[in-house]
Amino acid sequence: MEEEKIKVLSFPSDSPPLSIIAAAKIAGIALPTQTSTSGPLTLSFSNGLELHGNYVILRYIGRVAAIRNFYGDDAFHAAQIDEWLEYAPTLLLGSEFENACSYMDIYMEKRTFFVSHSFSIADIAIWSGLAGAGQRWESLRKSSKYPNLVRWYNSVSAEYSDALNEVTALYVGKKGLGKQVAAKPKEQKSADGNSSDKVNLGSRPSSEIDLPYAELGKVRLRFAPEPSGYLHIGHSKAALLNQYFAQRYQGEVILRFDDTNPTKESNEFVENLIKDVETLGIKYQKITYTSDYFPKLMDMAEKLIKEGKAYVDDTPREQMQKERMDGIESKCRSNSVEENLKLWKEMIAGSERGLQCCLRGKLDMQDPNKSLRDPVYYRCNPVPHHRIGAKYKLYPTYDFACPFVDAEEGITHALRSSEYHDRNAQYYRIQEDMGMRKVHIYEFSRLNMVYTLLSKRKLLWFVQNGKVDGWDDPRFPTVQGIVRRGLKIEALIQFILEQGASKNLNLMEWDKLWTINKKIIDPVCPRHTAVIEERKVLLTLTDGPAEPFVRIIPRHKKYDGAGEKATTFSKRIWIDYADAEYISVNEEVTLMDWGNAIVKEIIKDQDGNITQLVGVLHLQGSVKTTKLKLTWLAETSELVNLSLVEFDYLITKKKLEEGEDFLDALKPCTKKETAAIGDSNIRNLKQGEILQLERKGYFRCDVPFVRPSKPVVLIAIPDGRQQSMLK
């Protein structure tokens, strides 16, 4: 297909695709444009074909342009260009703007162009994103904050000044977006209109995220979950922030399992944590286990005993806790090194005497920070380990193992949630006593969600007591749970990156996350029809088709990629009882995807319940004049049985106060199943496919069609504003 076959580029008037128009201008491609108040970004061709989406069209321009290497000189460089096209809309908007500028400034330090040695559509996409930021970018451009990025930007602006000045002057209004105005002498910038490809991250105040003491190419991070449950939304924040910093500073992330408590851990959790991390798109350099370092940790513990920096204590646990709170030294604190080593060997053997003991660090029992009051380093535990069996009878605590393994693995920065703030001093002190390299701690706030429990112990209670179907239950805040409920990972990533690395405590609303999700799924998910089984009403159209007929129509009127579906038309159709209740005799209604009809008769039983409607088609009627727009299904044997499942929060309180028992806040009814019938095309849905049931909301296919007697299970996806059916 040659560029001269382009018919028109149409786009919403408030969202001009600056990068596409600029690329066409630079490439000398004639690109007629037209604006509208609504409708998707579309490139139409004279033969009737169309392309949709900002970067789909930009790639097309890159391929047909007579500019050398405009879309890369080989497959690898084309893939690199694709990476930058994906990067531009995600991180050049909202709260991530300056973080993206910083990353690109470092990247461009020794480069002339973003990909290889040629000007490409990657440069146009980034240039357009910066230009579209208006005054925000202009103020940074005048500063000396991002010299490499500004050098590149100015070079592009000068080299292609005629085309770029014309485009930005033409497509900018008072608010910097979209309205065509007369060209002005002073250059103005406009936004790039990326909404068709990525969800706008919003315009939160900029909060630049820097990693102290970070050196480009030398940053090494770790995401270190305990394998005692599945990954949940709180862990996701830590995982994604680790990846963010690794990418920004061209470093790496290690996935490490902190497997120091065999009582709570299992291989099932390890396997599913790996699955969840990969679902999030985390690119880890390797997988390690704290248990890999058990021999070295044992050697370090013995070294500290010999140096008088640790001692074995047999004080009962409750008494020990009280003494720590009161700053009272244990009677064992003054034991000799020889006595400590003797008891240490008893602990290693797991003897009756050893089981009474633990190993404690000798720090400072009078320190106001109670975490420094001789913390426990090792405890006895006869339970076999899920990886190494019964080799050990004692295991290191997190407080002891974490600073050691971080230093041993060459971690430069340990990301920890701010709830551990008081233990940072302990972390540094233990590393100092060990004589190991200091690892920098970087704090971020823990992500808390309303009406949600994130404690793995509490979530385990629901699983063990049969209150949910498993760790992937759609009511759970686990990655597998929220994905099963219909959340796209892109939405979760955007939601978390909006929070940044703030140290302020966050109690976030689920509605915000589901709103982002809706913006991602709505433009592309196919539309289908369902009628609630209970009390469904038959509408007989006396002048309807004598024989049923089938028409092929789009599954999504604005997105060809959703494909087509077969819709059956007949004189007998099913509608929802809830719709039938609102209809009056002789009222004209619209049958969606068909046309208008006039209801002539309403038949009721002796209790006043509607049992049947009779009407006539009025296809020449205007859909604009009708009050009711009805979804319907032809009465055929091809209809599919459905089970529509909706879930609610597991607890009744937005936030549990400290000390409050979650068992007192359990919600009694958290799942509702509704029988329905659906159009015949639903039998082709695959597990995990997302769809919209017209006028009923968004759903994810949980159990696809197997046989007519077994219903297709569709899980309702919240959209951020609908009230729950359970309320």
The residues that are catalytic are: 226, 446, 456
The answer to whether 520 touches 560, Cβ cutoff 8 Å, is no
User: Residues 705, 722: contact at Cβ < 8 Å?
Assistant: no
How many other β-carbons are positioned within 10 Å of the β-carbon of residue 582?
A: 11
Q: How far apart are CA 336 and CA 599, in angstroms?
A: 96
Q: State how far the Cα of 32 lies from the Cα of 166, in Å rounded to an integer.
A: 15
Give the integer Cα–Cα distance in Å for 575 and 591: 10
For 560, residues 6+ apart whose C-beta sits below 8 A from its C-beta are: 50, 52, 554
- In this structure, what token pair is assigned to residue 470? 């498993």
Task: Pull the structure tokens for residue 504.
Answer: 């302020």
Would you mind telling me the total number of residues written for the chain in this entry? 727
Least Cα distance to 277 among 479, 510, 438 occurs for 479
CA neighbor of 96 nearest in space, from 511, 549, 500, 567: 500
Tokens of 495: 């939601």
Is residue 284 within 8 Å of residue 251, measured between CB atoms? no
The values of phi and psi at residue 585, to 5°, are -60, 135
Taking the CB of residue 44, how many other CB atoms lie within 10 A of it?
Answer: 17
Q: Which amino acid is at 515?
A: T
Q: Which residues of 483-495 are buried (b: 16+ CB within 10 A; e: fewer)?
A: bbbbbbbbbbbbb
Pair type for strands 286-289 and 310-313: unpaired
Contact (Cβ atoms closer than 8 angstroms) between residue 618 and residue 596:
yes
Looking at residue 705, the DSSP 8-state letter turns out to be: -
In terms of C-beta density within 10 A (0-12 exposed, 13-18 middle, 19 or more buried), how is residue 615 classed?
buried
Cα separation, 155 vs 144, whole angstroms:
16
| Token output for 316 | 């009962």
Surface-to-core class of residue 457, CB atoms within 10 Å of its CB (0-12 exposed, 13-18 middle, 19+ buried)? exposed
Q: How many CB atoms lie within 10 A of CB 130?
A: 29
Residue 521 CA to residue 534 CA, distance in Å, equals: 29
Could you give the CA distance from residue 21 to residue 31 in angstroms, rounded to a whole number? 8
Closest CA to 395 of 679, 387, 531: 387
What residues does 589 pair with on adjacent strands?
597
The alpha-helical segments, DSSP class H, found in 263-371 are 267-279, 294-306, 317-326, 337-349
Which tokens belong to 572? 């007998």
Name the residue among 261, 264, 256 with its Cα closest to residue 284: 256
Secondary structure class of 640 (helix, strand, coil): strand
User: Could you count the other beta carbons within 10 Å of the beta carbon of residue 136?
Assistant: 17
